[in-house]
């Protein structure tokens, strides 16, 4: 039986990053993967979806070339080629992780890993042991009882990335990041898209102003939106699908070629030996302490299988923190109140910290500033005037409570707010930090200026 210092179960952005950091710290490390290195994120999530979205964005540029003084005749798309490009990007990234495993001298154990007692893991009949075993098995598309996925007419995100032909009509159930990204992609490609959201607002975790702006932008682009609506029944017996939808006004039916179920995720914790080892689980999540130790010594868990936010960058941060603690380094618990969230539709959404509603509910006396991209020189020149930056500060001490953005490229701008909040910066410090002109990021400074009644360009 092979013996390691650390074995990581799962090679997504939590698992492979954890393994690399463990190797850097001098641990003899192995990683177990049943499919492709990189997990869902690199192969079926973050990366290939961004490739699809880029193709959609370029196609939209071509369709609106005249807005930029250009002439493009008969712009069209090859749906199969768009999907093929996306898969090529994913394959390239997975090969990159293979290279990183070799570079860092990490053993890759291919197969299905199952935890055993005594700090052991069985991989398709072969046993391995380690002083520390880290579970990073991620999650998959969640199924609703009324919306069972058959992979053909009712699909999840995997099938949505690799359809053989583009549907004419699609219903997207759920308007979280996955739902709105695919809704934008298919709409931009020419599919008739309807979003069905159970809650009153699309992207319901975001600030209400963000939700309203996205709904406005999507409707302008031709996407139909039904909020406070629930799919109660799906009939797949005909050529396409017929969905029965319950709304405040009563029931109605929608017909489409395909329904994409984007109603959240389900942790991959079945059949991996948790019960055999005695690892505590609550409501689909493995229970861990601040340093990702489970209730059984020597077993740890990070990423989507734990109660924190189900985001790739959270999983990576948790894994690094976990192995640094194992190595005896002084580490601070992760601040889950300062995790950025990003949605890559068009317009993009990026946010960190409290929404305005949350800040008020917590009793803060707040200053709120908002700066629209319609007043930004860079946004006007780029033809990307939809959206705004919104900032929320504590009026008493100037603490940056929240930052919410919607517009072109905002997912690349949010890190300023994350870093500022990490360093406990105040509104006046942001305001007095010179931002380059003309840039989209100026909108952050201008929004802060608006909060303090010092805005110049509005």
Confidence of residue 270 (pLDDT cuts 50, 70, 90): very high
Distance, CA of 45 to CA of 328 (rounded, Å): 34
Same domain, 7 and 119: yes
Same domain, 200 and 125: no
Same domain, 317 and 406: no
Task: Kindly state the percentage of the chain with pLDDT values over 90.
Answer: 92
Confidence of residue 336 (pLDDT cuts 50, 70, 90): very high
Same domain, 281 and 256: no
Q: Which of 64, 428, 437, 457 is catalytic?
A: 437
Question: 236 with 431: CB under 8 angstroms?
Answer: no
Residue 458 lies in a domain: no
Same domain, 122 and 59: yes
- Known binding site for NAD(+): residues? 174-181, 197, 264
Say whether pLDDT at 55 is over 80.
yes
Q: What is the mean pLDDT of residues 380-402?
A: 96
Confidence of residue 236 (pLDDT cuts 50, 70, 90): very high
C-alpha separations of 230 from 254, 261, 331 in Å: 12, 12, 44
* Residue appearing with tokens 């690399």: 20
Residue 32 lies in a domain: yes
pLDDT at 74: 85
Say whether pLDDT at 457 is over 90.
no
Domain end among 228, 263, 298:
263
Angle (nearest 5°) at CA 324 between 320 and 327: 145
Q: For residue 86, which of 34, 45, 39 has the smallest C-alpha distance?
A: 45
Question: 375 with 369: CB under 8 angstroms?
Answer: no
Q: In terms of residue numbers, what domain contains 426?
A: 347-451
Question: What is the full DSSP assignment across 191-228?
Answer: -EEEEE-SSSSSSTTS-HHHHHHHHHHHHHTT-EEE-S
Query: Could you tell me which residues are beta bridge partners of residue 186?
Result: none
Same domain, 6 and 92: yes
Is 437 one of the annotated active-site residues of the chain?
yes
Say whether pLDDT at 201 is over 80.
yes
Same domain, 361 and 425: yes
- Known binding site: residues? 50, 113, 174-181, 197, 264, 304
Angle (nearest 5°) at CA 75 between 169 and 186: 25
Confidence of residue 278 (pLDDT cuts 50, 70, 90): very high
Say whether pLDDT at 43 is over 90.
no
C-alpha separations of 142 from 263, 390, 436 in Å: 6, 32, 44
Same domain, 40 and 26: yes
- Known binding site for FAD: residues? 50, 113, 304
Residue 330 lies in a domain: yes
Q: What is the mean pLDDT of residues 21-31?
A: 98
Same domain, 357 and 316: no
Plot region of 271 (φ>0 → left; ψ -120 to 50 → alpha; else → beta): left
Residue 456 lies in a domain: no
Question: 146 with 63: CB under 8 angstroms?
Answer: no
**256: part of which helix (H) or strand (E)?**
strand 250-256
Dihedral of CA atoms 68, 69, 71, 76 in degrees, nearest 10, equals 10
Assign 86 to helix, strand or coil.
helix
- Indicate the length of the chain as a whole number: 458
If one counts the domains in the chain, the total is 3
Same domain, 16 and 122: yes
pLDDT at 39: 87
pLDDT mean across residues, the chain:
95
pLDDT at 26: 97
Question: 331 with 324: CB under 8 angstroms?
Answer: yes
Per-residue pLDDT tens over the stretch 122-165: 999 999 999 999 999 999 989 888 899 999 999 999 999 999 99
């Amino acid at each position: 039986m092979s013996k390691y210092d650390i074995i990581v179960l799962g090679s997504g952005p939590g698992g492979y990053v954890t393994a690399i950091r463990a190797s850097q710290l001098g641990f003899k490390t192995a990683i177990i993967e049943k499919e492709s290195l990189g997990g869902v994120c690199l192969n079926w999530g973050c990366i290939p979806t961004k490739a699809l979205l880029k193709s959609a964005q370029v196609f939209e540029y071509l369709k609106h070339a005249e807005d930029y003084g250009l002439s493009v005749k008969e712009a069209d798309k090859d749906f199969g080629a768009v999907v093929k490009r996306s898969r090529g990007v994913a394959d390239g990234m997975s090969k990159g992780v293979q290279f990183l495993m070799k570079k860092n001298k990490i053993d890759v154990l291919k197969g299905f890993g199952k935890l055993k007692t005594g700090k052991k893991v069985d991989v398709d009949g072969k046993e391995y042991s380690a002083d520390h075993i880290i579970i990073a098995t991620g999650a998959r598309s969640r199924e609703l009882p009324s919306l069972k996925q058959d992979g053909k007419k009712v699909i999840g995100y995997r099938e949505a990335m690799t359809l053989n032909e583009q549907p004419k009509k699609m219903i997207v159930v759920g308007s979280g990041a996955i739902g709105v990204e695919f809704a934008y992609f298919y709409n931009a490609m020419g599919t008739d898209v309807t979003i069905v959201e159970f809650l009153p607002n699309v992207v319901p975790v975001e600030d209400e102003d963000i939700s309203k702006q996205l709904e406005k932008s999507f409707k302008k682009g031709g996407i139909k939106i039904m909020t406070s609506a629930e799919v109660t029944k799906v009939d797949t017996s005909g050529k396409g699908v017929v969905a029965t939808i319950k709304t405040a006004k009563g029931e109605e039916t929608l017909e489409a070629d395909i329904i994409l179920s984007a109603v959240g995720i389900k942790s991959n914790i079945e059949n991996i030996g948790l019960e055999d080892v005695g690892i505590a689980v609550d409501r689909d999540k493995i229970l861990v302490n601040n340093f990702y130790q489970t209730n059984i010594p020597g077993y740890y868990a990070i990423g989507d299988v734990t109660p924190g936010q189900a985001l790739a960058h959270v999983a990576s941060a948790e894994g690094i923190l976990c192995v640094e603690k194992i190595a005896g380094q002084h580490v601070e618990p992760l601040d889950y109140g300062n995790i950025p969230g990003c949605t890559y539709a068009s317009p993009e959404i990026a946010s960190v910290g409290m929404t305005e509603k949350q800040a008020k509910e917590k009793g803060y006396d707040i200053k709120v500033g908002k700066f629209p991209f319609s007043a930004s020189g860079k946004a006007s020149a780029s033809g990307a005037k939809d959206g705004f930056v919104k900032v929320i500060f504590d009026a008493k001490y100037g603490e940056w409570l929240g930052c919410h953005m919607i517009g072109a490229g905002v997912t690349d701008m949010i890190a300023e707010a994350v870093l500022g909040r990490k360093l406990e910066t105040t509104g006046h410090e942001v305001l007095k930090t010179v931002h380059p002109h003309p840039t989209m990021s100026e909108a952050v400074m201008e929004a802060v200026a608006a909060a303090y009644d010092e805005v110049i360009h509005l």
